[in-house]
Structure 1
């Protein structure tokens, strides 16, 4: 699903109005009606009181239409119009006229009626056009909304959130009902306090415009995965499914390479070899008999050399930073030609020796968590600056970056893919090692680097989404990612068959 900026979204509205021979008022009514239908479906109890806060721009117009529809359908309604929240637009004026024609009471004073009970607060103060500091009076209103005990729902965006720069204060929404397109700002780590859940509502924007208008940003959901997923062919065998080599482990960290190797095999590749120090030989042979093993060094890797010809290499899980290991990685990278996934201490070693980045095969995949990413890129001013630095870094070294976070970004040059799966259950040790294995296994099967990264991250998150209904968030472990990979694949295949 494409992610458009504010300019393109406004252009999409104009094209839709022209091509569908409707007015801007009719498009506003259509959008508000979709919000109303969602609210009616999820809050069927007619004792639920909706407290709607409207600004005076187009977002406020949406809110006024929603308020009118709720009142007409018999819901208790409190309606406040915040006069300092924007300037009146023609669409807002029409929506307000309909409120008055229907004798719906509303408040414009400074004292807002925050009642108790089954309350749902609707935020329709500002939309995507927010580009200035909030007036103090509006800050006061938003602060009171944020301290409410009911459910807070924002229409299109949480009021106060900027679309293209850091947000300092905004409505803390439980649910955002956004129109047609996810917004890039929703997935920035710094905005996590303002958004808990996003629902995308289809309001019938012109399909040809969406198809023809390019975007460097894409939100990865099941539709995008369907385009990338390649089922195993009926005549496949272990020789056709690819051979993955996982290089890692050191004394006390053999579990990392075991997790990564097992994840690679469970991702669907035909063969997996683990290259690890001798202290891990018996561990991997007993805990993961499906893997082959090559060893070097007693407690850490001192050199990397092998005769086999893997289709992909995963480098770094548990490998440590011993000076001999660092030299081994340097010598290996100078000769490496196969697709690679680089993680953990291998990333840290590269960050200390950035000139080694020139040795990486093109389209290698780096999988840093935030601190590892900072060591590679240097410090950034904010999330938007971080993203620009990651794009520049990816372009300079011809690498794919999997920037792990609550919403993982996959950066391939100027193209950015934002993952939609996963939850807080993944915030546990070892899940990064598993992700390295999954992506390496997909590379070994012949996926191009960007697709391997996108599909691997999606699968990784999907396992947690499936598992938490059985394990809960707290009890989920990295091994559960591996154990639920099969169910994740089955879900993807089932969705592909339905389309």
Structure 2
């Protein structure tokens, strides 16, 4: 799913009005009506008090449309206009007149001083104060109003975006933003719904179709894309009946040190489980028995050193190399990595201490093959690119880093974001169960295993992140968040692949059968 920028949303609205020969007021009516339809389908006339708070711009106009339909359908609704300025939009004024024509209970004008309306915790708040056009800090009284919303503990539904939340900047004051239980967004979700510092402002979100111009939606290129099943299914490469293991590449995992051979075992198992034809592991001598006994499918090559990687020397010709899991940053290992990079031309996936070594010796970045995949967690990323002031600054710096070194950066997190040059791919799968030891090693193995099979490194990264999260989503139904361990994510990779081809109705049927059993 494309995630449109603020400028693109405005452009789409304008193009839609032109090409469909409608006014901006007509488009506002569509938007507000879709919000009402969503609410009406769930409330079915329930007489819960609904408080609709409208600003005086276009987002407020959407709110007035919603309020008018709620009134005409007999709901218990109170409408308020946050009347802190005289800069009312044209479409707001049109809909202000329209709601006055259908009820004697005209909207209450809040003059941004005095007391707030009383809201019970069982009530519903519809937040239509500010939209995506907000580009300034909110006034102190409006901030206090938002705090009043939060303290009331009423269910809060925001229109398009929680009021006070900027689409391109992290809020400086979290009390100056509405904390929504649900946000109904137009055109696409907003990037801020997925970033660590801003996702907290809406618990859930949904995109409503308001009939924007189809050509605009299909042909407009966006900087950000949300990755779900629909996006990854075309990436899948089916297997031929007469294929054999030689067709699916040879993955090599280089890593491990005394006490950390488990990381290599997890990465190697994941690479083979995701479909690599052959898997070899290059480890210190201490890892030989561990790997041969715990993962017999792997071939094992050992360093001459007992406890760490001191030299990287192998005779095989791998398709791709995953480097860094459990490897440590001892001087001998750093020197071995540098010597290896000077002669290596094989595609690389680098994780963990491999990234830490690059951070300490940034000159080595020049030796990386193009399209090398880096998979840092937040602290590793900070060591690599330096500090950032907020999530937007972080993304800006990662894009600059990717452009400079022509590498792919997988920013691991709740919504893992894959970055290549100026493009962002936001993952939609995964859950808190992945916050466990070894899950990053598994992801490294998955991406390495996909590249081994012939997937482009960028596709392998995006697809691999999706499969990693989807496997965890399926596994968590059996184990819960607390008991999900990394090896179980590997065990459920097959289910994640099968799930790609399940229709929604089949998924629902499977859930019913599991519940009954």
Do both share a fold (TM > 0.5)? yes
Give 1:202-217 correspondences, 5 Å limit.
202-217=209-224
C-alpha distance in 2, partners of 1:158/1:85? Answer: 20
C-alpha distance in 2, partners of 1:224/1:39? Answer: 29
Shift of 1:99: 1.5
Q: Which runs of 5+ in 1 are unaligned?
A: none
C-alpha distance in 2, partners of 1:70/1:287? Answer: 63
Shift of 1:85: 7.1
**TM-score, length-scaled by structure 1:** 0.95
1:336 lines up with 2:344 in the alignment:
yes
Task: Give yes or no for contact 2:373–2:457 (8 Å, CA) kept in 1.
Answer: yes
Task: Give yes or no for contact 1:275–1:293 (8 Å, CA) kept in 2.
Answer: yes
Shift of 1:71: 2.8
Shift of 1:274: 1.3
User: Alpha-carbon deviations, 1:375-407, whole Å to 9, x = none?
Assistant: 111112222221111111111111000011222
Shift of 1:70: 2.3
Stretches of 4+ aligned residues off by more than 6 angstroms = none
The 3-state SS of whatever aligns with 1:196 is strand
Residues 316 and 219 of structure 1: is their aligned pair in 2 closer, same or farther, counting only changes over 3 Å?
A: same
C-alpha distance in 2, partners of 1:468/1:274? Answer: 29
Aligned residue for 2:93? 93
Return the match for 2:281 from 270, 274, 280. Answer: 274
C-alpha distance in 1, partners of 2:51/2:314? Answer: 67
The 3-state SS of whatever aligns with 1:134 is coil
Task: Give yes or no for contact 2:121–2:152 (8 Å, CA) kept in 1.
Answer: no
C-alpha distance in 2, partners of 1:41/1:438? Answer: 42
Aligned residue for 1:167? 171
User: Alpha-carbon deviations, 1:5-59, whole Å to 9, x = none?
Assistant: 2121111001101111222111111112222222233444714332221111110
Give 1:17-416 correspondences, 5 Å limit.
17-44=17-44, 46-84=46-84, 87-103=87-103, 104-109=105-110, 110-116=114-120, 118-168=122-172, 169=174, 170-296=177-303, 297-416=305-424
Aligned residue for 2:431? 423
C-alpha distance in 1, partners of 2:504/2:355? Answer: 35
Shift of 1:238: 1.0
**TM-score, length-scaled by structure 2:** 0.92
Q: Which runs of 5+ in 2 are unaligned?
A: 507-517
Aligned residue for 2:449? 441
C-alpha distance in 2, partners of 1:49/1:485? Answer: 47
Shift of 1:497: 12
1:489 lines up with 2:497 in the alignment:
yes
The RMSD of aligned alpha carbons is 1.9
Shift of 1:496: 11
C-alpha distance in 2, partners of 1:383/1:31? Answer: 30
Q: 295-304 or 215-224, which moves further after superposition?
A: 215-224
Task: Give yes or no for contact 1:34–1:203 (8 Å, CA) kept in 2.
Answer: yes
